[in-house]
Amino acid sequence: MRKTLSQGIVGTSIVAIAVWWIYTSGPHDDHFYVAVTAMATVAIAVATIWAISAQVATARSVAGVQILLQIMDKFDSDDMVAKRDRLAMLLVGNSAVLTADGEAVLDFFETVGHLTKKNSLDLDMVDNGFSLYLRYYWTALAPFVRERRRTYSDPTLYEHAEWLNETLCRRERVAGRSEDIPTQQLEEFFRTETKVLVPR
């Protein structure tokens, strides 16, 4: 933000110096001075708007980082860790029921997806922090989501989580990596997830 303010000040100063030089460089008629003053006013206004816009963009970026850190803290909170652990154990056992723990995890990624889609969160940082978890959890829980959509006749259920998963999978394809997760690899992830979350 300091850099943005400095750039705005420098730009305004350059305009002021240019106007001063024109005024002192020689005699001019009144129309010339009026025109120069008008152009200087416009230039200063443009520089001010640019500086304010840059400050707003910087503020949004900082706010996005703060939101992401809060979300990461929630994902690793004791409550969410317990839910992820119980859900992972059920998924390893091929559970046929979407439990409250599964809904909590889906709700979490729905929020992350919504915030990312609205540009409140930076996609690169979300990719770095949650891509692995989302892709594995969504792969395992997607059949339950489709069933819930049919049951409640609501095709928008967890649509933001699905959008984020598709977006991250597309990034995998662009990078030349496979987006498919074999069943054995999926089961191993959830076994590892339970060991990491709650050492036994």
Write down the pLDDT at residue 156: 97
**Mean pLDDT calculated for residue range 147-174:** 96
Write down the pLDDT at residue 10: 54
Other Cβ atoms within 10 Å of 5 Cβ, number: 13
Judge contact between 64 and 121, C-beta under 8 A. Answer: yes
Per residue in 84-142, pLDDT (tens digit) is 999 999 998 777 678 999 999 999 999 999 999 999 999 999 999 999 999 999 999 99
Mean pLDDT for the chain overall = 81
How confident is residue 152, by pLDDT bands cut at 50, 70 and 90? very high
**Mean pLDDT calculated for residue range 163-191:** 91
**Mean pLDDT calculated for residue range 77-86:** 94
Write down the pLDDT at residue 200: 45
Alpha carbon distance 189, 199 (integer Å): 15
Task: Compute the half-sphere exposure of residue 189: CA atoms within 13 Å on the CB side of its CA.
Answer: 18
Q: CA 67 → CA 28, 108, 113, 119, 120, distances in Å?
A: 57, 13, 13, 12, 8
Write down the pLDDT at residue 131: 95
pLDDT at 199 over 70: no
Q: CA 200 → CA 17, 83, 116, 186, 193, distances in Å?
A: 72, 16, 35, 20, 12
Alpha carbon distance 84, 173 (integer Å): 27
